[in-house]
Structure 1
Amino acid sequence: MKASAFVTCVTFLVATTPAAIDKRAIVTSSYHRYVRPIEEDSDYARVLELSLLFYEAQRSGKLAPDNRIAWRGDSGLDDRGDDGEDLTGGYYDAGDFVKFGFTMASTTTLLAWGAVSWPEAYARLGQLDVIREALKWATDYFIKCHVSENVLYGQVGDFTVDHAFWGRPEELNTSRPVFKIDPEHPGSDLAGETSAALASTSLLFRTVDPDYADKLLRHARELYNFAKVHRGLYHEAIRGAAQYYESTDYGDELAWAAAWLFKASNETKYLDEAEHHYQHFHLRERPNEFFYNKKVAGVQVLLAQLTGQQEYRNAAKAFCNFSVRQQKRTPKGLLYIDKFGTLCHAANVAFICLQAADYPDIGDPQEYREFAKQQIHYILGGAGRSYVVGWGHNPPTQPHHAASSCPDKPTACGWSEFDRNAPNPQVLYGALVSGPDEADRFHDRREDYVYTEVTLDYNAGFTGALAGLLQLQAKAQAHPR
């Protein structure tokens, strides 16, 4: 579990002058000096499939008969709300067995956005049904957690209690306390992000299961209204979340949810409210990152896509130009924002700028796409090693993940497996680890979670970026010059 961290950005202050052009040339030159080319099309496709497989390994609840993870079984079957509500299902957050609603919802929204934007990539791989199933596993759980109009369970399991156990989720023997938000203990960020997750996912079910899409949209509307009327930060209601997934504001989630509701429903009142939140919460300012706690860059790009207005296009351009041209890099060219989730931060920015590149008058599409390729190539092994478990050259073998560290049943599993300096017996295919430090150093040790942690949100923007690059490859092949 990552510790909550405020992102400290060390940046190059470069004006848009000839010196800035030289700086960009130096960055590109340095990158190509270290990063080796890879077979883009086949690599994107295979890793995208594996990334979705990682999400299957994180499932809680009663698994489907066609579950593809042989070392996983049913778990968390006694997860219940305060009044006995069924809270089974959903995803375990990381290598532990807590279900954090905030990051699960953020992950769901990003996965849905990538599939909505680049469905041809998923269809080409025969993965459209797989991504829908992955999303539905989360949204079914959110619907269970939304037990009444203004009550939402936001966490199952306590981190401190959970981390006294190391082993298989199927054998978890700790208590599973639950935590919720309600009008007296609000969480506009959690309710807003869950609304966005449900609304964005509804777009993928609109043609194949319109009744389910309507159900998602109904819950999304109620949750957005809850978030809007009863204001507050969710970690003040769910105290244990503050240490790990603190939220520093909720204005971005309100605008995010309203924008997704407009895209899903085409009801102009939601666009009006999204734009109101954008102005009221000063979301026009350029952010330095895009992740579960800071969604401003996503709001800017999404509003640019929805409205075409110059204000939002300029904001999206400012973010991508800063990220591509001025943000700090490691010596081998990886965008460096924070040590926790180094690769996640880079992949999320790549994802956002691929989204921006698909719309007119948002910067230089070719520059943004080349940047995204650079970042994803680094992750896939271009800088010397893969950071995707079970794939590529010298991938991580000791991800900080309890279940995959366990030997085959019926052999017992416990803290001795945590301490064992050897590859995890179960390969956690497709998981993106936290990644290297600012000097490109990486320690493949299970206990060194700063490097080897895996989480739901680490793979979210990464999965979308792979889909975006794969769709570009498909278009290039269909329309060669």
Structure 2
Amino acid sequence: MRDCLVLSMVATLAAVVAASDYNYSHVLELSLLFYEAQRSGKLPIDNRIPWRGDSALADRGQNGEDLTGGYYDAGDFVKFGFTMASTTTLLSWGYLSYRDAYEAAGQAKYALSAIKWAGDYFIKCHVSPNELYGQVGDFNLDHTFWGRPEDLNMSRPAYKIDTQHPGSDLAGETAAALAAVSLVFRDVNPGYSSKCLEHAKQLYRFASQYRGLYHEAIKGAAQYYESTDYGDELTWAAAWLYKATDDPQFLDEAEHHYMKFRLKERPNEFFYNKKVAGVQILLAQLTRQPDYMEAAQAFCDFTVSYQKKTPKGLVYIDKFGTLCHAANVAFVCLQAADAGISPSKYRDFARQQIDYMLGDSGRSYVVGFGHNYPKQPHHAASSCLMRPAPCGWDAFNWPRENPQLLKGALVSGPDENDHYMDKREEYVYNEVTLDYNAGFQSAVAGLRHLQLEAFENNRT
């Protein structure tokens, strides 16, 4: 009887995850191309984005440190360390959990390259144990320019945190990212993995010993990526370091932070500024303790059953990054399902949310994929004709498709009534950013992983 029940559950899971009409492997390929289009610095010889070249090669710290590399945040050319680090943590988590999806899609080497591109930059930015650059470029200066990053001709100041101007959130998130990167490369490149882990430990100690909000040190960040607390990042970093090291001290500290900062309460979202849901689910996976398992379930049950939704079924959390918010909760609830919490319900929910973005809503929200995808993402470089043609604000104002296809970019998305405007100037709908794609890509990998798992179980 039990064997029949197990076979029935496997068959149900297979039906749920195989029901999608969308090629998740192709979506992974495209999303990784989006990250390649966002690269700053000296591009590799195998650059796959023909309309991109070397850029911002003079990025330097206040004492001349080399800060080239990393990723441009959005359609502009500022490098924000906080969101870049959050993006890297989520991409790494998705790769660690669903590597088979990347391998089946033929994208494993590109995923590793995307993750390492960020890891290399964070190591450059961490110029001493208690000193971390968290932003390159001035947003107000940057927004006077519309064009290609290759043509940037403005001052690009660099901003950092240190013992006199701490940022526990920024240092903590960067520590989490590098701990996650170290896990990704543990078997592939052990030397690099160890280097990332050493930087992660130093950054976590810096974050713990010198407390503060990073946007108080890096004033320009407050306008766009304000951080409202740092308790979640301290806990997040300690949990990731425990996952990377198995050192019980890190778990003790994570649990101490969890209690001190009252992270047991149910959050409403999961994104770069609010990591609590991710903390709860990661600790549930690492410890299997009832408190964390129950907290993870409370978040996902609320999200699936009670969170506000659009008429077509998209979880609606915020008008900025509507799809990012939905994709992020889809991903972390896939992680909860992997921990054995309501797996069928959460996996079906994740598939519904991701498939809405890929076409179930009546259109695709991923540039270059599916039916009626966005043609005018709010992205300066892709709005330009190929060089040597000039590019400026005329390109922003010209009501036509972006000449360069920003493959794989997930746009901000529709409003609470599923209404969407595909116009470059309507950034509330058509913004693209590093963090918009991170949870989305990892959720897509999770759904592809479930397909592979279900097909294998059916076969045997």
Match of 1:168 in 2: 148
The answer to whether structure 1 residue 238 and structure 2 residue 202 are counterparts is no
The answer (yes or no) to whether the contact 1:38–1:382 under 8 Å persists in 2 is no
The C-alpha deviation readout for 1:69-95, integer Å capped at 9, x for no partner, is 000000010000011000000000000
Structure 1 residue 414 corresponds to structure 2 residue 373? no
Aligned ranges 1:61-140 → 2 under 5 Å: 61-140=41-120
**Which position in structure 2 is the counterpart of 1:454?**
432
**Aligned counterpart in structure 1 of residue 446 of structure 2, from 443, 446, 468:** 468
Q: 1:84 to 1:273 in 2, by over 3 A?
A: same
The percent identity for this pair of structures is: 70
The question of whether the paired residues in 1 share the 8 Å contact of 2:70 and 2:118 is answered with yes
Provide the C-alpha distance between the structure 2 equivalents of 1:100 and 1:275, rounded to a whole number of angstroms. Answer: 29
CA contact (8 A) 1:247 1:293 kept: yes
How many correspondences in the alignment? 443
The answer as to whether partners of 2:96 and 2:184 remain within 8 angstroms in 1 is yes
The partner residue of 2:368 within 390, 405, 411 is: 390
Equivalence for 1:404: 382
Give the partner amino acid of 2:329.
Answer: V
5+ long unaligned stretches in structure 2: 1-16
Relative to the length of structure 2, the TM-score reads 0.95
Which residue of 100, 114, 125 corresponds with 1:145? Answer: 125
Alpha-carbon distance in 2 for matches of 1:376, 1:42: 10
**Change beyond 3 A, Cα 1:89–1:149:** same
Deviation at 1:38, TM superposition (A): 9.7
SS of residue paired to 1:258:
helix
Indicate the RMSD between aligned Cα atoms, in angstroms: 1.1
Residue 354 (structure 2) pairs with residue 376 (structure 1): yes
Conservation of the 8 A alpha-carbon contact between 2:232 and 2:274: yes
Aligned mates of 1:174, 1:395 — CA distance in 2: 33
Paired position in structure 2 for 1:321: 301
Shift of 1:409: 1.1
Q: Distance in 2 between matches of 1:364 and 1:261?
A: 27
Q: Is the 8 A contact 2:25 2:104 kept in 1?
A: no
Aligned to 2:415: 437
Structure 1 contact 351–468 (Cα < 8 Å) conserved: yes
SS in 1 for 2:376: coil
Match of 2:33 among 45, 49, 53: 53
What CA distance in whole angstroms lies between the structure 2 residues aligned with 1:41 and 1:81? 48
Separation (CA, whole Å) in 1 of partners of 2:252 and 2:97:
23
Relative distance call for 1:111 and 1:423 in structure 2 (3 A) is: same
Instruction: Give 3-state SS (helix, strand or coil) of 2:369's partner.
Output: coil
Shift of 1:41: 7.0
Q: d(CA) in 2 for partners of 1:309 and 1:163?
A: 48
Q: For residue 479 of structure 1, give the secondary structure of its aligned residue in structure 2.
A: helix
Q: Note closer, same or farther for the CA distance 1:446–1:38 as it changes in structure 2 (3 Å cut).
A: farther
Matched, 1:340 2:329: no
Distance 1:68 1:128 in 2: 15
| Structure 2 residue corresponding to 1:193, chosen from 173, 176, 185 | 173
> What is the TM-score when the length of structure 1 is the normalising length?
0.91
Residues of 1 paired with 2:21 and 2:183: CA distance? 27
> Equivalent residue for 1:31?
none
Letter in 2 for 1:401: H
Distance 2:280 2:107 in 1: 29
Structure 1 moving runs of 4+ over 6 Å = none
Find the residue that maps to 2:57 and give its secondary structure: coil
Measured at CA, do residues 347 and 284 of structure 1 come closer, stay the same or move farther in structure 2, by a change above 3 Å?
Answer: same
State the AA in 1 paired with 2:396.
F
Deviation at 1:126, TM superposition (A): 2.0
SS in 1 for 2:23: helix
**Counterpart in the other structure of 1:225:** 205
Alpha-carbon deviations, 1:289-334, whole Å to 9, x = none? 0000000000000000000000000000000000000000001100
State the shift of 1:40 in Å: 3.0
> Alpha-carbon deviation of 1:364?
1.5
Letter in 1 for 2:431: E
SS of 2:253's equivalent in the other structure is helix
Give the CA deviation at 1:128: 1.6
Equivalent in the alignment of 1:265: 245
The aligned counterpart of 1:14 is: none
- Structure 1 residues 308 and 38, CA gap change in structure 2 (3 angstroms): closer
What is the CA–CA distance in structure 1 between the aligned matches of 2:260 and 2:391, rounded to whole Å? 52
Change (3 A) 1:42 1:437: closer
Determine helix, strand or coil for the equivalent of 1:272: helix
- Paired residues of 2:59 and 2:68 also in contact (CA < 8 A): yes
Q: Give the whole-Å Cα distance in 1 for the aligned partners of 2:293 and 2:452.
A: 26
Residues 74, 432 of structure 2: 8 Å contact kept: yes
Residue deviations 1:385-428 (CA, integer Å, cap 9, x gap): 00001111000000000000000111100000000110000000
- 8 Å contact from structure 1 (residues 98, 158) kept in 2: yes
